Copies of this chain bind each other. A is one copy, B any other.
Amino acid sequence: MPSERSIAIDAQLVERYILELGAIGAHSGTGVWRTVYSPEWVTAAAQYETWAVEAGLEARRDAVGNVWAKLPGSESGKAIVSGSHIDTQKPGGRYDGALGALAALIALKALREQFGMPRRTLEAVALCEEEGSRFPTAGFWGSRAIVGRINPGDPNHIKGYDGETIAEAMRAVGLDPDRAAEACRDDIEAFVELHIEQGPVLEHAGVPVAIVDAITGIRHTEVKLTGEQNHAGAFPMDLRRDPMAGFAEITSGLIDHAHRLGRPAVTTIGRCTPYPNAPAVVPQSVTFTIDARHPDLEKRRALYATHEALIKEVAARRGLGVEMRTLFDHEPSLSAPELLRVLGEAAAEQNIRTLTMASGAGHDSQQMAEIAKVAMIFVRSKDGRSHTPEEFSSIEDIVLGVRLLAEGLYKLAYA
């Protein structure tokens, strides 16, 4: 049932913030290169803080450099938080991460201007190093700090692509790595993250905005098939033990299986290394990775069991050795039913067309789920593109997403 209340979101302000933040670290036309603790990141964090203060919010940095903007509530109790990260890929675009940090700021600004002080404390946050684009093993650094998943030894052990430690990089921007644990929070009730979809589901469905009910579970498995290296000319087909033949059969099997399961199951073989990788040699071995994802715990288990059974069956039948190694395995992160209900009601009342979907990509929300109820809002991505300067979402879609976020936050913090 449409509501009489409608929170006004200033489309021009949204566009200005996106372009001005995107100009900090601008790269390759519409791209952005803004890695954590770089001069560009320092400038962007300061800009975010400036805008927060302009919006009448209480700004502060935490011990790892996340920028917080607070609209204090009249009641005590845990905070309602929204935000995302402002670090990027090398280069990424203007939207991945940045849009969620700005959306939170714009929503809080609009709520304060249109409704005054909330009942519950609201906070916007600009997180850091979600991408792991400067420190490959430090993905979700900002949100991990908030949920207490940084160990005391981490800052001195985590190294960047250029060889420096994250502790050195922190010191260079005035942060004390020994105090990283102080970023930890235990007073957050809910975290609602707006993000671009990074996929084509909304575009194909012709819908501007999605409510995300889960972040998919993901497992990376490395498989090595070993056969017998032989001369490509002198060895008859019927006497070969060819790991490339096994690899091809397994790859087709895994991909076809995901197709048959249908959305949201996905299986990707993105990496493959034959040895010795020579045109005239039947390979000794083929090593490849499987990226397999499903947001449903039970279906995910079944997916992986099917994979293992197929790999073992093909290897045994073809006389190939097989080694399997799980590189990582992240359980699905389910959105809080209460937040899904609130966002669903807000969308219905505001007449915002949404669909409900799982996120196939990882997000800071997964980390925040350790200490808070979480949910996400997705905004339609042009051609499903992300991690590229070409990523794009229209201002119309973005405004709908920000309005849905603001309506949800209103229900959580004012109603």
Residues of A within 8 A of B (CB): 197-201, 204, 216, 218, 220, 230-239, 242, 244-245, 247-249, 251-252, 255, 258-259, 262-274, 277-283, 289, 291, 293, 327, 359-362, 384, 386-387
B259 near A252 with CB under 8 A, answer: no
CA distance A232 to B289 in the complex (A): 12
B271 near A278 with CB under 8 A, answer: yes
B270 near A360 with CB under 8 A, answer: no
List, in ascending order, chain B residues with CB within 8 A of A384's CB.
Answer: 230-231, 234-235, 239
CA distance A263 to B360 in the complex (A): 47
CA distance A231 to B386 in the complex (A): 8
A251-B244, A251-B245, A270-B281 known; A218 and B233 CB under 8 Å? yes
B242 near A255 with CB under 8 A, answer: yes
CA distance A1 to B348 in the complex (A): 98
CA distance A220 to B255 in the complex (A): 28
Which of B247, B263, B274 has a CB less than 8 Å from the CB of A236? B263
Which of B231, B264, B361 has a CB less than 8 Å from the CB of A198? B231
A360 near B233 with CB under 8 A, answer: yes
List, in ascending order, chain B residues with CB within 8 A of A235's CB.
Answer: 199-200, 266, 360, 384
Q: Which of A216, A258, A266 gathers most chain B CB within 10 Å?
A: A266
A277 near B272 with CB under 8 A, answer: yes
Given contacts A234-B384, A239-B384, A252-B252, 17 further A-B contacts (CB under 8 A): A199-B230, A204-B239, A220-B279, A232-B268, A233-B360, A234-B361, A235-B360, A235-B384, A237-B262, A244-B251, A244-B268, A244-B270, A245-B255, A247-B251, A268-B280, A270-B277, A271-B274
Which of B255, B278, B281, B362 has a CB less than 8 Å from the CB of A233? B362
List, in ascending order, chain B residues with CB within 8 A of A220's CB.
Answer: 279-280
A291 near B271 with CB under 8 A, answer: no
Which of B201, B267, B270 has a CB less than 8 Å from the CB of A283? B270
List, in ascending order, chain B residues with CB within 8 A of A280's CB.
Answer: 220, 268, 270, 291
Q: How far is the CB of A77 from chain B (nearest CB, A)?
A: 35
Query: Which 8 pairs from chain A and chain B are nearest by CB?
Result: A199-B234, A233-B360, A248-B251, A232-B268, A279-B289, A198-B234, A234-B360, A233-B361
Q: How far is the CB of A351 from chain B (nearest CB, A)?
A: 27
Q: How far is the CB of A287 from chain B (nearest CB, A)?
A: 11
A248-B251, A272-B274, A384-B230 known; A200 and B236 CB under 8 Å? yes
A279 near B291 with CB under 8 A, answer: yes
CA distance A271 to B283 in the complex (A): 8
Q: How far is the CB of A408 from chain B (nearest CB, A)?
A: 22
List, in ascending order, chain B residues with CB within 8 A of A279's CB.
Answer: 220, 268, 270-271, 289, 291, 327
List, in ascending order, chain B residues with CB within 8 A of A197's CB.
Answer: 234
What is the chain B residue whose CB lies nearest that of A259? B237
Q: How far is the CB of A292 from chain B (nearest CB, A)?
A: 9
List, in ascending order, chain B residues with CB within 8 A of A386's CB.
Answer: 231, 234
CA distance A361 to B282 in the complex (A): 13
List, in ascending order, chain B residues with CB within 8 A of A263's CB.
Answer: 236-238
B237 near A245 with CB under 8 A, answer: no
Which of B237, B264, B270 has a CB less than 8 Å from the CB of A282? B270
Q: Which of A197, A327, A360 gathers most chain B CB within 10 Å?
A: A360
List, in ascending order, chain B residues with CB within 8 A of A262's CB.
Answer: 237-238
CA distance A362 to B270 in the complex (A): 35
CA distance A266 to B236 in the complex (A): 6
What is the chain B residue whose CB lies nearest that of A200? B239
CA distance A119 to B198 in the complex (A): 83
B268 near A281 with CB under 8 A, answer: yes
A233-B218, A234-B359, A245-B252 known; A270 and B278 CB under 8 Å? yes
Q: How far is the CB of A260 from chain B (nearest CB, A)?
A: 9
What is the chain B residue whose CB lies nearest that of A269? B244
List, in ascending order, chain B residues with CB within 8 A of A248's CB.
Answer: 247-249, 251-252, 255, 269
